[in-house]
Structure 1
Amino acid sequence: MSRLIHPRSLFEVPVAPRRSSASEPQGPGGGIARRASVACQALLAAAALALAACSALPDKPHRSISYDFGPGPLAPAVTASAATAALPPITLADLDTSASRLEGTALNYRLGYEEAQALRPYATARWTQPPLQLFRQRLRDALAEQRTVLGTLEAGNLAREGRSSEVLRISLDEFSHYFASPTLSSGLVRVRATLLSLSPTGERVLGQRVFVVQRPAATADAAGGAKALASASDEVIADMVRWVNSRR
């Protein structure tokens, strides 16, 4: 009698039990993989050391920034009225910076809460020109909106012709970013102005006045100080122009 065979057994192939990975022999391919893994770890360690070395290097020095008073009015000046057009010409005297401590281009600050007598310069900020020259240029533009501004040579020619003219001399006595506290600061400007009458017989003082203006700084740094000083200068100049034009 024949033996019955189950249909499933016709397709089953005996499979030998698989050895554990620990007991498998290491061929040439396994050694290469292990060495590659060690090399990758070494490269990663070297990269980490390089990054650590780079982070330990000193930062690059900051580039100095130069400031001025800004572009000024962008719109053309309004035509002078008949009253202001009658104002006589004025001469803006040449600057005497030989004895001035503000002839340089340093942007200075004072710590009023610590040592107000010390004038310190910002390390990475400067003016494009000495502050007195920047102030004089702005003042000249403001005066020219209402009257003719002459040079000293032209004023001398008028005197030789027997004609008198007015001369304005300015002295910039204080121009600093003033700190009342570590967080509260302002642009401090103090200017002494002398108005003279120049004639063939000599000079005559028409008046003298000291203008002092403080404008708050938005930030306690060089950028905030430069902006506050420009704003304070514009206010001093506006006051000075009104004072000069009112003395007839």
Structure 2
Amino acid sequence: MKTIKFIAASARKSSAGAVFVAILLAGCSALPSPPSRPVHYDFGPGAMAPVAGDRRAPLPPLALADVEAPGLIEGSTAVLYRLAYADARQLRPYTQARWSQPPAQLVQQRLRDQLGQRRAVLTLESGAAQARAGGKLPTVLRVDVEEFSQVFTSAAESASLVRLRATLAEPAQAGEMLLGQRVFIVQRPAASADAAGGTRALAEATDQVAQELAQWLEQLGR
């Protein structure tokens, strides 16, 4: 009888231990999982080497002012989209996607890369320093990013939309003399209806805008 009682007590202890382990595991599975980190995008590495074989004469230096983005939240790295089929007036941010830098800075770097293929691209400060050293003040290019978003025409189709306003001015004693102004609008279809497709299309659209802007400057003789 003592042996039977001992076996029964052991069985009860084992059963209680199993219940405890099950409760512990259930409690662990109920703990909140750490939030996933947003994916960061940029415009890619750009050209790996300068284009060879271009024997055209270099263009005069140009001062590129800091690109402004009046249509975007200053300093924000959010990847933005619009639902044209619902309310195109509302800009919405992806929750799990970010730019590596604010879009204005990414655009500025792409413009500098494109324009720098045939000319020296200066900042306003370095252009002023050059003038103080006896040189001439360079022509100033100012760029505003007015739209930089992925626009969904349906739940499955979207395109990037980049709109820049470029203003070219000649420094003068009384301020700046306007030489030209133009709005550049480029749309590129997104390969996928998500942040990955949208950011890739926005990078491609920015590259196209940079090329068109460079051609415009050459047409103005600048």
Common fold by TM > 0.5 = yes
SS of 2:44 mapped into structure 1: coil
Displacement of 1:51: 3.2
For 1:82, what is the secondary structure of its paired residue?
coil
Q: Which residue of 1 aligns with 2:210?
A: 237
- 1:170 CA displacement: 0.8
Query: Does residue 63 of the first structure (1) align with residue 34 of the second (2)?
Result: no
Q: Give me the whole-angstrom Cα distance separating, in 2, the residues matched to 1:199 and 1:184.
A: 48
* CA gap 1:96/1:237 in 2 versus in 1, 3 angstroms: closer
Contact conserved, 1:91 with 1:149, CA < 8 A, in 2?
yes
- Residues 67 and 145 of structure 2 are in contact (CA less than 8 Å); yes or no, is this contact kept in structure 1? no
Cα displacement (A) at 1:87: 1.7
Query: Percent identity at matched positions?
Result: 46
Superposition pairs of residues 101-120 of structure 1, within 5 angstroms: 101-103=72-74, 104-120=76-92
After superposition, the C-alpha distances for 1:155-186 in whole angstroms (9 at most, x for unaligned) are: 44666768464322111001112222222223
> Please, which runs of 5 or more residues in structure 1 have no aligned partner?
1-26
Unmatched 5+ stretches in structure 2: none
Secondary structure of the 2:214 match is helix
Superposed CA deviations along residues 96-121 of structure 1, whole A, max 9, x for unmatched, are 46x55342222222121111111122
Could you say which residue in structure 2 is the equivalent of 1:218?
A: 191
Give the aligned residue type for 1:129: Q
Partner SS, residue 51 of structure 2 = coil
Aligned equivalent of 1:151, options 92, 116, 123:
123
What is residue 20 of structure 1 aligned with on the other side? none
Following superposition of structure 1 onto structure 2, how do residues 195-214 of structure 1 map, counting pairs within 5 Å?
A: 195-199=168-172, 203-214=176-187
Residue 109 of structure 2: which of 132, 137, 161 is its match? 137
Counterpart residue number, 2:148: 175
Cα distance change, pair 214–95 in 1 and its aligned pair in 2 (3 A): closer
| Matched-pair contact (CA < 8 Å) for 1:67–1:128 | yes
Q: Which has the higher contact order (CA 8 A, sep 6+)?
A: 2
One-letter identity of the residue aligned with 1:216: P
TM-score normalised by structure 2 residue count: 0.82
> Is residue 91–residue 167 contact of structure 1 (8 Å, CA) maintained in 2?
yes
Q: In 2, Cα distance between the equivalents of 1:158 and 1:202?
A: 18
8 Å contact from structure 1 (residues 174, 191) kept in 2: yes
* 1:77 corresponds to 2:50: yes
Q: In structure 2, how many angstroms separate the alpha carbons of the residues matched to 1:111 and 1:209?
A: 27
3-state secondary structure, aligned to 2:110? helix
Q: 1:43 corresponds to which residue?
A: 17
| Candidates 96, 105, 118, aligned match of 1:124 | 96
Q: Does the CA-based 8 Å contact 2:139-2:168 persist in structure 1?
A: yes
CA apart distance, 1:90: 1.5
Give the TM-score, by structure 1 length.
0.74
Equivalent residue of 2:213, what SS? helix
Deviates more, 1:174-183 or 1:132-141: 174-183
Question: 1:186-214 CA deviation, whole Å, 9 max, x = no partner?
Answer: 32211111223335576343332222222
Contact 1:179–1:185 (CA under 8 A) maintained in structure 2? yes
Structure whose alpha-carbon radius of gyration is higher: 1
Q: Secondary structure at the match of 1:170?
A: strand
CA shift at 1:215, angstroms? 2.4
